[in-house]
Structure 1
Amino acid sequence: MTTPTTHDTHNETGLPADEISDSRVSRFGVDGTGVATDDYDRAPSTEFGTPAAHPRTTRVVVGLDGSAESLDALRRGILVATGANASVQGVVVWHNPSAFGSYGFSDWSPRADAEQIMADAVDQVFDGSAPAWFTQTIRQGYPAEILIDESRGAEMLVVGSRGHGGFAGLLLGSVSTACAEHAHCPVLIMHDDR
């Protein structure tokens, strides 16, 4: 299996440099392959431009978990998709914690929580109405496994990481690390130092 190559947002998206001037892309790995990280200090714009008239034949997959980092990942995924004329697929993964059984959780539904995470993302990023080029995927399983599976045939996988900034920020979460190591496409990991 090949390791996804580092994605240099300045060269491959086709976006003007001022659109992404707030990012720092770093390379990891001895041979120059590895993980692209995107750190920035300001919130990304919510203006994404007008979709192209011809159909979008590729897609950018974005992992969503309800965190601010995942919403930033969605915004950045949209910018990447716009430059590549790709659709965007938001993915929320839920897991039924069978270790707890049903004791004390009779009214709780992890699937309903996942649906709410997706609805909140659409609300916050698209003002409540998702465009036709945005698809919503909600699956049961383990986040890293599902995101890696969904990365098949994708232009890019974008995920957030709850990093710490500075040197400690190089320590990626287990989901983002697994995606970087095993995804079937380039992976962009978003960090936020807010």
Structure 2
Amino acid sequence: MNAETGAKPVIVGVDGSEYSSAALRYAGTLAARLGTRLEVISCVGMPDYLVMSRLEGADRQFTARLEDAAGRLVEDALGRAFSGDRPENIDVTIKFGPPAKVLVEESRRAQMLVVGRHGEGGLLKAAMGSVSKACAAHSNCPVLLVGQEADAV
């Protein structure tokens, strides 16, 4: 293992869905095998104008509530993914912004980005959702897309 690569985390994007739990399990296994930390990132995506209007005013309570809700979704996903046996070397971060943009930006400092592969619904039964497509297309590191069917393995 390269010293430069070993210092970089495995980053996993989490939105609280079942896809997140499967992605978390894979990311946790990868981080342990690579001997690096696991960094869990959840994004609160809102239109930029709404974020700015809320952050500039005295109403920070609104953003704090959104952050708390996102944190609870992450904790639920972690509980499903690791059943109480959570990896030791793990960090959880809640970020504001469009998930695809945030995860692509964060990929600059990661050795691998892991995301759940939503999709298979809507018109033409897409195999990937918009966030996983953007991460696969624009990430600055290798990307692992994990489908919910990974739980059956």
Hey, what does 1:81 align to over in structure 2?
A: 31
- Find the partner of 2:128 among 172, 185, 194: 172
TM-score (norm 2): 0.73
Greater gyration radius: 1
2:112–2:144: 8 Å Cα contact kept in structure 1? yes
Instruction: Write the distance in 1 (CA, Å) between the matches of 2:13 and 2:137.
Output: 16
Mapped pair 1:92 → 2:42: yes
Give the one of 65, 70, 89 matched to 1:114: 70
**Structure 1 runs not aligned, ≥5 long:** 1-55
Residue 69 (1) aligns with residue 19 (2): yes
Number of residue pairs aligned between Structure 1 and Structure 2: 133
SS in 2 for 1:86: coil
CA spacing shift, 1:183–1:170, aligned 2, 3 Å: same
The superposition leaves residues 23-65 of structure 1 with CA deviations (integer Å, 9 ceiling, x where unpaired) of: xxxxxxxxxxxxxxxxxxxxxxxxxxxxxxxxx6231000000
Name the structure where helix makes up a greater proportion of residues.
2
Distance in 2 (CA, whole Å) between partners of 1:176 and 1:110 is 23
Name 1:163's counterpart in structure 2: 119
Distance in 1 between the 2:45 and 2:67 partners?
8
Contact 1:62 1:89 in 2 (8 A): yes
Tell me if 1:191 matches 2:141. no
Alignment of 1:1-194 (within 5 A): 57-96=7-46, 98=50, 109-128=65-84, 130-164=86-120, 171-193=127-149
Secondary structure of 2:109's counterpart equals coil
Are the equivalent residues in 1 in contact too, given 2:44–2:94 (CA < 8 A)? yes
Which TM-score applies when normalising by structure 1?
A: 0.59
Q: Percent of aligned positions with the same letter in both sequences?
A: 36
Per-residue CA deviations over 1:62-107 (Å, capped at 9, x if unaligned) read 00001111110010011111221121000100134539x99xxx8x
What RMSD, in angstroms, separates the aligned Cα atoms of the two structures?
A: 2.9
